[in-house]
C-alpha cells in the first residue's frame, strides 16, 4: 500500500518543519539571527494510466490519465534575509547594519566568515573583535588612550584621544554583499561562510549603493516573529496528526483485507 509510505513522508516533512520552527523560536533573541523557512515540494508521480493514451482502437483518448503522487519532501530550508529591528544598546562598539551587507570576520583558520551580528568588543590589543574574539576585517585598532569612539554611517571609525580636540580616523569598516544571500552556509556562532551557491563576496563601503548604513550603539534583533512561528507550529502539528490518521486508516484497511475468509 503506497498510502502508508506517502503519509510517512508527510510526517517526516512536518517533523522537519517543527525542527526549523523550534530553531527559530530558540533564536528569537539572538543578535542578527535570520529566521528560516522550510519549503516543501511534492515527490515524483507514478503514471498509472498515461494521459493522452488511447483507451480504444477507435482513437478515444484518456483526457487526464491517472498520476499518483508519492508524497512530499523538503525542497529547501532557506533563510529569510529580512531586516531585523535595530535595538538600542548604548554600547559604543555595537554596530547594526540597516540594509544589505555583512561584516567580515577573520576566523582562526584564516577563512573569512560573514555575520550580521555587530555586537563587537575590543580585545587586549585594542582590536575590534566579535564576542568570540575573532577580528573584524579590515583590522581596526582603537588606541589605549581613546576617550571616545564614533562609527559613522559609512563605517569610518574615529577616536578622540586624551588631550586632543580633533577626532582621529583609525579605520574603516567594510561590508560584503552576495548575489544569493540565502546560499550562505551557517556555521553557528552567528557566522556564515561563502559557498558556490552564494556567489563571491562583493566588498564595499557602507552607505554606498547596494550596501546598508551602520548604526552605532545598536544591534540588529532577530527577524523572528513569535506569533507567526507559533501559528506555524500549530499548523505543523495538525498536519502531522492528519498524516498519522492516514497511516491508521491504511493500516486498518490492510487488516480488513488480511481477514477476508476464503
Partner 1 sequence: MENAAYVGLSRQMTLRRELDIVANNIANADTTGFKVEQLLLGEEVGERARNAFVRPGVSFVMDNGVGRDFGQGALEQTSRALDFAIEGEGAFFALKDGAGDAYTRDGAFTLDPEGRLTTQGGAAVQGDGGDIILDPALGQVAVAADGTISQNGQPVGRLSVVRFDTLAVLEKGGDGLYRNASNAAPVAANDVQVRQSMLEGSNVNPILEITNLIEIQRAYESVTRMIENTNDLSRRAVERLGRAA
Return the DSSP state at 83.
P
By C-beta, is 92 or 100 nearer to partner 1? 100
Return the DSSP state at 54.
B
Binding mask 107-146 for partner 1 (x = CB under 8 A): ----------------------------------------
By C-beta, is 22 or 47 nearer to partner 1? 47
Q: Is 182 in the site for partner 1 (CB under 8 A)?
A: yes
By C-beta, is 79 or 92 nearer to partner 1? 79
Q: Is 19 in the site for partner 1 (CB under 8 A)?
A: no
Q: Is 227 in the site for partner 1 (CB under 8 A)?
A: no
**How many Cβ atoms from other residues are within 10 Å of residue 228's Cβ?**
12
Minimum distance from residue 232 beta carbon to partner 1 (Å): 9
Element of type H or E holding 86:
strand 86-88
The site that binds partner 1 (CB under 8 A) totals a number of residues, namely 75
* CA atoms of 19 and 171, how far apart (whole Å): 42
Contact with partner 1 (CB under 8 A): which of 76, 85, 88, 150?
Answer: 76
Q: Is 21 in the site for partner 1 (CB under 8 A)?
A: no
Contact with partner 1 (CB under 8 A): which of 183, 193, 207, 213?
Answer: 183
* CA atoms of 219 and 222, how far apart (whole Å): 10
* CA atoms of 262 and 80, how far apart (whole Å): 59
**Of the candidates 75, 14, 71, the residue with the CA atom closest to the CA atom of residue 39:** 75
Q: Is 235 in the site for partner 1 (CB under 8 A)?
A: yes
Query: 32: which 3 cell numbers?
Result: 542578527
Query: Binders of partner 1 among 193-222, rule CB under 8 A?
Result: 196-200, 202, 209-211
Minimum distance from residue 128 beta carbon to partner 1 (Å): 25
Q: Encode burial over 123-149: b for 16+ CB neighbours within 10 A, e otherwise.
A: eeeebbbbeeebbbbeebbbeeebeeb
Q: Is 245 in the site for partner 1 (CB under 8 A)?
A: yes
Query: Binders of partner 1 among 26-65, rule CB under 8 A?
Result: 37, 39-45, 47-49, 51-52, 62-65
How far is CA 145 from each of CA 121, 131, 168, rounded to the nearest angstrom? 16, 22, 12
Minimum distance from residue 26 beta carbon to partner 1 (Å): 21
Q: Residues for the chain: how many in total?
A: 262
* Choices 71-79, 107-115, 157-165, 212-220 (CB under 8 A): range interacting with partner 1: 71-79
Amino acid at each position: 500500500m503506497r498510502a502508508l509510505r506517502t503519509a510517512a513522508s508527510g510526517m517526516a516533512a512536518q517533523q522537519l518543519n517543527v525542527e526549523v520552527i523550534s530553531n527559530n523560536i530558540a533564536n528569537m533573541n539572538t543578535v542578527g539571527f535570520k529566521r528560516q523557512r522550510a519549503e516543501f515540494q511534492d515527490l515524483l508521480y507514478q503514471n498509472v494510466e498515461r494521459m493522452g493514451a488511447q483507451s480504444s482502437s477507435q482513437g478515444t483518448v484518456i483526457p487526464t490519465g491517472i498520476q499518483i503522487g508519492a508524497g512530499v519532501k523538503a525542497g529547501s530550508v532557506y533563510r529569510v534575509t529580512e531586516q531585523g529591528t535595530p535595538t538600542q544598546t548604548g554600547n559604543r562598539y555595537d554596530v547594526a547594519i540597516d540594509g544589505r551587507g555583512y561584516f567580515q570576520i577573520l576566523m582562526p583558520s584564516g577563512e573569512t566568515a560573514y555575520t550580521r551580528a555587530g555586537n563587537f568588543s575590543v580585545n587586549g590589543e585594542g582590536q575590534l573583535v566579535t564576542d568570540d574574539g575573532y577580528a573584524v576585517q579590515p583590522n581596526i585598532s582603537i588606541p589605549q588612550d581613546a576617550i571616545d569612539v564614533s562609527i559613522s554611517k559609512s563605517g569610518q571609525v574615529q577616536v578622540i584621544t586624551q588631550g586632543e580636540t580633533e577626532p582621529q580616523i583609525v579605520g574603516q569598516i567594510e561590508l560584503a554583499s552576495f548575489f544569493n544571500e540565502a546560499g550562505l552556509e551557517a556555521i553557528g556562532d552567528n557566522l556564515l561562510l561563502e559557498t558556490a551557491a552564494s556567489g563571491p563576496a562583493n566588498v564595499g563601503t557602507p552607505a554606498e549603493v547596494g550596501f546598508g548604513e551602520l548604526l552605532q550603539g545598536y544591534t540588529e534583533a532577530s527577524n523572528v516573529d513569535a506569533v507567526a512561528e507559533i501559528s506555524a507550529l500549530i499548523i505543523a502539528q495538525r498536519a502531522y496528526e492528519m498524516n498519522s490518521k492516514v497511516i491508521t486508516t491504511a493500516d486498518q484497511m490492510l487488516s480488513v483485507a488480511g481477514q477476508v475468509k476464503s
